[in-house]
Amino acid sequence: MMHVARWISLAALAAMWIGLPACGDDWPQWRGPNRDGVWRETGIVEKFAGKELPAKWRVPIGSGYCGPTIAAGRVYVMDKALTPTSIERVHCFDEQTGQRLWSHEYEAAYGRIGYPAGPRASVLIDNGKAYALGSTGRLHAFDAAKGKVLWEKDCDKEFAIQMQNWGISASPLIYENLLILHIGGEGACIVALHKDTGELVWKALNDRHQYSAPIVVQQAGQPVVICWTGDSVAGLAPQDGKVLWRYPWKPRSMPIGVATPVVEGDRVFFTSFYDGSLMLRLLPDKTEVEKVWQIVGRSEENTLALHSIIATPVFENGYIYGTDSYGELRCLDGKTGERLWENLTAVPKARWSTIHFVKNGDRYFMFNERGELLIGKLSPQGFDEISRTKVLEPTTDQLRQRGGVCWTHPGYANKHIFVRNDKELVCASLAR
């Protein structure tokens, strides 16, 4: 009888184990868990089964550039509604079904903000809290599960933001107990708030803001927050905001940098639509930088290195891959900036044409502005397209040209892709 009982117990445990959902990874912030555009899950599809990717679920939402984030079984996204007034909204959906769990809305008059389709920055999830930063600087901290507002702040009123053309776009960054924001206030281009209370801890730089999200690196044995502002690239001490180094880089026309800085080893790469490519070296024994190379084309159509507008490039094994000003997929030698090849098949050529790159194993998932998802490999020898499928239709709120675009960065979590346009949020399986 003991053997029978033991067998029954083992069988019950096995049944419970089989019934548990497969272990996966969340996507709780801009560009993934480590903010580096790498999706580390395994068991992902090798090739797509058809020309269209079947949706697991789809739900209607309003317009906006805010990419989805996923944590603890929930999906977060922001959008904009125009009735009865201009309203920004924060939504939370069930990851498995798409059921709306909670929403929060507030008035947000965009005024002179251009491309007014909606919020830009991704919602950040940390330790059970959700942080949502709107285009006008309205900031909310929520109980991530219930949607209760824990605290809120109008950054424009508090820090006197010198608002640039496209509004506040840089996704927030968490460092220990701090929430770090790139907002462009007077003497407060970068601010750090206590993540539990919203209390100001420090502020730094009198630069104009632009649209690039800050990142944290290790340099000379200490953490450094790299912030690409509208006037410079700066390295700040995250604990107190002290400026450790600053490299002046004023734009030729206006602040327009969107791409997140990308790092490999001691090199940091930046790319801008009008101002081309800049490579800096982080000195290993002191918190200083030196310019390695800088290349700027003669015009937005006559470029040499990489003039990216929206997409963050890839920096891997000494080479840089990204989309140029009109969507040309290019590879640069990281040592010199020399262009090694160009490809025009990944996305149709057009002004500001975009691809979002996410690494998975030895290949990349590439979501282009036509709503297509590509699987491909990138090497100094060229782009090898493995498979392509349609996920979403372009919509026109973000851009009315060329029949609309899909400019929002997807989220990848638990073997699924989560992506939106101006009308709907879609979840689709990418499990093998």
Between CA 246 and CA 231 the distance in angstroms is: 10
Q: Is 347 contained in some domain?
A: no
pLDDT of residue 14 exceeding 90, the answer is: no
* Tens digits of residue pLDDT in 310-324: 999 999 999 999 999
Query: For the chain, what is the mean pLDDT?
Result: 94
Cis peptide before 84 (omega within 30 of 0): yes
Q: Is residue 45 part of a domain?
A: yes
CATH number for 36: 2.40.10.480
pLDDT at 21: 38
Instruction: Give first-to-last CA distance, the chain, whole Å.
Output: 42
- How does pLDDT run across 82-141, given as a tens digit for each residue? 888 899 999 999 999 999 999 999 999 999 899 999 999 999 999 999 999 999 999 999
Structural domain range at position 28: 24-159+411-432
Q: Of 331, 332, 363, 367, which is closest to residue 346 (Cα–Cα)?
A: 367
Tell me what the mean pLDDT of segment 258-285 comes to.
98
Decide if pLDDT at 142 tops 90.
Answer: yes
> Running DSSP on this structure, what letter comes out for residue 122?
P
**pLDDT score for 357:** 98
H or E element in which residue 14 lies:
helix 2-19
Determine, yes or no, domain membership for 126. Answer: yes
Q: What stretches of 75-160 show up as alpha helix (H) in DSSP?
A: 155-159
Which residue's structure tokens are 């979840």?
427
Report d(CA 389, CA 44) in Å as an integer: 15
Give all strands (DSSP E) within 33-73, no chain letters: 57-60, 69-71
Mean pLDDT on 335-361:
98
3 three-state secondary structure: helix
C-alpha to C-alpha distance for 353 and 33, rounded to whole angstroms = 26
What is the mean predicted confidence (pLDDT) over 322-333? Answer: 98
* Mean pLDDT along residues 359-378: 98
List CB contacts of 222: < 8 A, sequence separation 6 or more. Answer: 237, 287
User: Residue 296 contacts by C-beta under 8 Å, 6 or more apart in sequence?
Assistant: 252, 275, 276, 277, 304
Structure tokens at 23: 């272990």
Residue at 127 is within a domain: yes
State mean pLDDT over 190-214: 98
Q: Please check whether residue 285 lies inside any domain of the structure.
A: no
**Per-residue 3-state assignment (H helix, E strand, C coil) for 356-414:** EEEEECCEEEEEECCCEEEEEEEECCEEEEEEEEECCCCECCCCCHHHCECCCCCEEEC
Q: Looking at the chain, how many residues does it have?
A: 432
Q: Is residue 283 part of a domain?
A: no
Tell me: pLDDT of 18 over 50: no
pLDDT surpasses 80 at 383: yes
Domain count, the chain: 1
Collapsing DSSP to helix, strand or coil, 17 comes out as helix
Structure tokens at 281: 């070296």
Backbone angles phi, psi at 275, to 5 degrees: -110, 10
| pLDDT surpassing 90 at residue 406 | yes
Q: DSSP states of 309-329 as a string?
A: SS---EEETTEEEEE-TTS-E
103 within some domain? yes
CA dist 63 and 398 (Å) reads 7
Q: Is the pLDDT of residue 4 over 50?
A: no
pTM score, whole prediction = 0.94
d(CA 72, CA 18): 20
**In the numeric block, which tokens belong to residue 368?**
């282009």
Q: Which residues contact 1 (CB under 8 A, 6 or more apart)?
A: none
| 3-class DSSP assignment, residue 30 | coil
**Cα-based torsion angle of the residue sequence 395, 399, 404, 405 in order, rounded to the nearest 10 degrees:** -80
